[in-house]
Chains A and B, each alone.
Chain A
Amino acid sequence: MLPCAVGLLYPGLIVLLLGARRRVGALTAFAVVAAVAAWMRASDLVGRPATWLLVLLALIGGGLLTQSPKGWLPALGGGGLIGVVAGATWMPCVGNELASILNNAPTRPLEELLPMLVYVFGVTSILFVVALIPIVFEPIGRGLDHEAVTLIGGGLAVALVIALAGGVYNDLLSEFAQLSVR
């Protein structure tokens, strides 16, 4: 499952790492918006967004996320914008559950919105687990608040923007996909 989910997990990881103490809220915004974006594509309500638009959204989203410690608005906004990028670029392998959603979405879009939300929350649940652990176990929380975590998240966000702009986003995901199957 991991290689096919990397298109959601990589941007989600950025939100997790940059979301600071508001990481659960930022991730929730990310997952909801990613699901809606993926659902809109599946329902033929929108096409593939232009690359420049995705780059812009990733740039603003990443920038907002770095301001997460200052308030909820940048955390939720940043998570949401990265969610648009994830949902718009995610090209999944399709098993039985997702097949049901994707095959029905063009003719019965409203019926498939909730299942898509559930599916995306399921795929990204591992990120929510990591986001919730620091609330329960505070010492781990202090570790996640370390500057190095923010730097790694920032590095991944910069890589996302550069890869999108350079047309090599798929190559970037390939590297993570290979790591996940090793």
Chain B
Amino acid sequence: MQKLLASVALVGLAGAIVVTLTRADNDGAATAAAPERRPTTTAAVAASAPPVLAAEANQLVDLDGWLQTDIESLDDLRGNVVIVQFWTFGCINCKRTLPYLQELYAEHAGAGLEIVGVHSPEFTFEADPAAIAAAAEELGVTWPIALDTRQRNFFGWQGSRGYWPRTYVIDQQGQVRFDHVGEGKYEELAATVEFLLEESA
């Protein structure tokens, strides 16, 4: 009886793993070459103001440097809508968010949108600045990268709920207006950015 139950469980589990891995492969392939999954940001303008989630966003402190920019703090970007994303280049889920950020950046970079990618490595092999720069080039990350190698900001901003990726939108007054863990909510992200940009226009 025990053997029969174990056999059934084994077949079920093996099947579930195969289905899951197949789905994951398909997702990855689709994301890499699938602009059709990306929302058209112009159609996603929010009807109402995004809520203020925090009256004053955290600062980026004790960083290990910056890449691709001359700025030294988020204060240098005050007056803009700023997307702050915690990411690391080895994280597949972070990579999957990049096409959406690139689309927003291409569309609104000259109109008051800035993006700061806070690179907080999950593993030690992701901590090398040269590797980060190479990965940024390969992935098409053209916005400023804050190096948070010791994860001080990763935990300072997220507390015990530290995950990759995590995306915040900070408005022109320094208030947090969007906060999302992981992939997804791209239309809401675009709508938030566009609402804030239009509000100040």
Q: Which of B14, B93, B162, B165 has the most CB of A within 10 A?
A: B93
* Closest-CB distance, B50 to chain A (whole angstroms): 15
Residue numbers in B under 8 Å from A69 (CB-CB):
none
With A3-B122, A122-B20, A136-B6 as known contacts, state yes or no: A98 contacts B92, CB within 8 Å. no
Task: Please tell me if B159 contacts chain A, counting CB pairs below 8 Å.
Answer: yes
CB–CB A3/B6 < 8 A: no
Q: Considering the chains assembled together, what is the distance between the CA atoms of A133 and B159 in angstroms?
A: 40
Task: Please tell me if B124 contacts chain A, counting CB pairs below 8 Å.
Answer: yes
Number of interface residues of B (CB under 8 A): 35
Residue numbers in A under 8 Å from B2 (CB-CB):
135
- Residues on B lying within 8 angstroms of A by beta carbon are 2-3, 6-7, 9-10, 13-14, 16-17, 20, 24, 90-94, 96, 122-125, 159-165, 180-185
* Closest-CB distance, B110 to chain A (whole angstroms): 30
- Residues on A lying within 8 angstroms of B by beta carbon are 1, 3-4, 24, 41-42, 44, 46-48, 91-96, 98-100, 102-103, 106, 122, 125-126, 128-129, 132-133, 135-136, 170-171, 173-174, 177-178, 181
CB–CB B162/A91 < 8 A: yes
Does more than half of chain A's interface fall in helix, strand or loop, or is it mixed?
helix
A45, closest chain B residue (CB): B160
With A98-B182, A136-B3, A136-B6 as known contacts, state yes or no: A93 contacts B122, CB within 8 Å. yes
